[in-house]
Amino acid sequence: MTQDLFSFGKAKKMQTNKALKDHASKVVKVLDKVVSNLHQVHKLTNPLEKLGKDHIPFKVQPSHYEAFGAAFIRAIEDKLGLDFTPDLRKSWELMFSIIQ
C-alpha cells in the first residue's frame, strides 16, 4: 500500500525509513482527530484545510487523498478479514470522505 502512494523507497528500506515513520505518526494523529470529532465536523475545518495546504508543496492532488483512503481501507480489510463488516467499511469511507 504505502509504496504505491509515497516515494520513500523500496519496500525493504521503507521499514526502517525515519521519514516514513514520522509521516505515519502524523497520519495516525490526523485520523484520530477526525474520528474523535465526527460528531462535531465543524471542528475539523481548520485542521483539514491546514493539512491540504501543507501538502501543496508536494503537489498532492485531491485524487491522492482518495487513493490513500481506498488503500488504507483495503489494508484494514486485509488485516481484519471476516471481521471487516459492511458497516465498518461505511464508517471508514465516511471518515475519508470528510478528509477529502
CATH code, 83: 1.10.490.10
Quickly state the pLDDT bin for 6 (edges 50, 70, 90): low
Residue numbers of the domain that contains 40? 2-99
Q: Write out the three cell numbers for 97.
A: 470522505
Kindly state the average pLDDT of the residues 55-69: 89
pLDDT of the residue at 100: 81
Total number of domains constituting the chain: 1
Look up the pTM and report it.
Answer: 0.73
Judge whether residue 25 has pLDDT over 90.
Answer: yes
Please name the helix (run of DSSP H) or strand (run of DSSP E) that holds residue 98, with its range, or none.
helix 86-99
Q: Please give the mean pLDDT across all residues of the chain.
A: 86
Closest residue by Cα to residue 98 from 5, 35, 11:
35
